[in-house]
Amino acid sequence: MTRQSGFTLMEVLIAVTITAVIGLGVWQVMSSVVLSRDRVDEVAGEFNRLQQTWLMIERDIGQVVNRSVRNMYGDSEPALTSVHGDFSLLLTRQGWRNPLGEKRSELQRAGYEFTGDELRRRYWLMLDQGQDDTSRDQLLLGNVTGFDIRFLNEGRRWVSQWPTEEAMNNVGLPGSRSATLSLPMPLAVEITLTHERFGVLTRLFTLPNFSKRAAQRVISAGNVAPVQAPPPDEADAASEPDGAAQ
């Protein structure tokens, strides 16, 4: 009689246990890979939105024109201003593309609004506003904790407000459109954006009539300490020819 052989119950249990452990390990590895991929996709998507935000700001500031507008109350607003209750920056820009051939201007009024955790852009279909709201709102970037702006004036000095209070008093804002047009435009705009993930980011944007290289020279000059004159005794000794002092 032939003796039959097979697995014992203990061997089967050991095999099942080993298979379960291997399966659990594979599942944990796959789960970790999926989570890592999702995290990478999330960071990449947020970084892409950040880059798109900078690009939008660069296009707006780089195409600014000195065209003041009238708000819904009939008051004239400067072409570029940070003096507004809702917006950190308001400007009039050219180059608004019109692929559908709509009956509208190529100029666009746009504003940037920082809500405390989001940066939004609003633009108007008409430059001079009436009683009807023709604005459109865009969410540019989330997780924003700071949005600060300063302006480079004609004297190559940075100011935190545009137009300055002195300039506004000179033209008597709110005033006529001709008075608003007499306001100077800044040479450059520096924006510091603070993001929860990417930290503090600063970008310099120049207006059409001012070069970025010139703006960088202004910044570099502002970061260099002035050369101090030597004390009087040292200055006199340095001015004497060699061998004159005994």
Tokens 């702006």 locate to: 149
Question: Which of helix, strand or coil describes residue 89?
Answer: strand
Tell me how far apart the alpha carbons of residues 184 and 119 are, in angstroms, rounded to a whole number: 27
Do residues 183 and 67 make contact, with C-beta atoms less than 8 angstroms apart? Answer: no
CATH number at residue 178: 3.10.610.10
Instruction: Kindly give the pairing relationship between strand 80-81 and strand 144-152.
Output: unpaired
Asked if the model's pLDDT at residue 212 lies above 90, the reply is no
Q: Identify which of 82, 116, 88, 122 has the alpha carbon closest to the alpha carbon of residue 194.
A: 116
pLDDT at 201 over 90: yes
- Highest mean pLDDT among 116-125, 132-141, 237-246 belongs to 116-125
Per-residue confidence (pLDDT) for residue 14, from 0 to 100: 85
Greater confidence, 240 or 167?
Answer: 167
Q: Which two tokens stand for residue 159?
A: 């100011």
| Residue 228 within a domain | no
pLDDT at position 226, please?
40
pLDDT in tens, 128-184: 887 777 889 999 999 999 999 999 998 889 999 999 888 877 766 555 555 566 688
Give the model's confidence band at 62: pLDDT under 50 very low, under 70 low, under 90 confident, else very high: very high
Whole-number Å distance between alpha carbons of 223 and 201: 18
Tell me if 199 is assigned to some domain.
yes
Let me know if residue 117 belongs to a domain.
Answer: yes
pLDDT tens across 79-93, in order? 999 988 789 999 999
Give 121-126 contacts, CB < 8 A, sequence gap 24+.
121/56, 122/87
- How many domains, the chain? 1
Q: How confident is the model at residue 13 (pLDDT cuts 50, 70, 90)?
A: confident
Q: Where are the alpha helices (DSSP H) in 7-121?
A: 9-62
Q: Tell me whether residue 38 is in a domain.
A: no
Nearest 5°: CA angle at 174, between 171 and 179? 35
The helix/strand/coil state of 214 is helix
Q: How confident is the model at residue 33 (pLDDT cuts 50, 70, 90)?
A: confident
The terminus-to-terminus CA distance of the chain in angstroms comes to: 129
Query: Residue 184 in contact with residue 217, Cβ under 8 Å?
Result: no
Residue 9 inside a domain? The answer is no
Extract the runs of DSSP E, i.e. beta strands, from 53-88: 69-70, 76-77, 80-81
* pTM (2 d.p.): 0.70
- Residue 200 falls inside a structural domain: yes
Cα distance between residue 183 and residue 193, in whole Å = 27
CA distance 51 to 111: 18
**Structural domain boundaries enclosing 194:** 50-222
44 in a structural domain: no
Average model confidence (pLDDT) across the chain: 81
β-bridge mates for residue 121, sequence order:
112, 138
1 — pLDDT class (breaks 50, 70, 90): low
Reduced to 3 states, what is the DSSP secondary structure of residue 208? coil
Structural domain contains residue 210: yes
The H-assigned helical ranges of the chain are: 9-62, 165-171, 177-181, 212-222, 232-239
- Return the closest-CA partner of residue 56 out of 104, 123, 105: 123
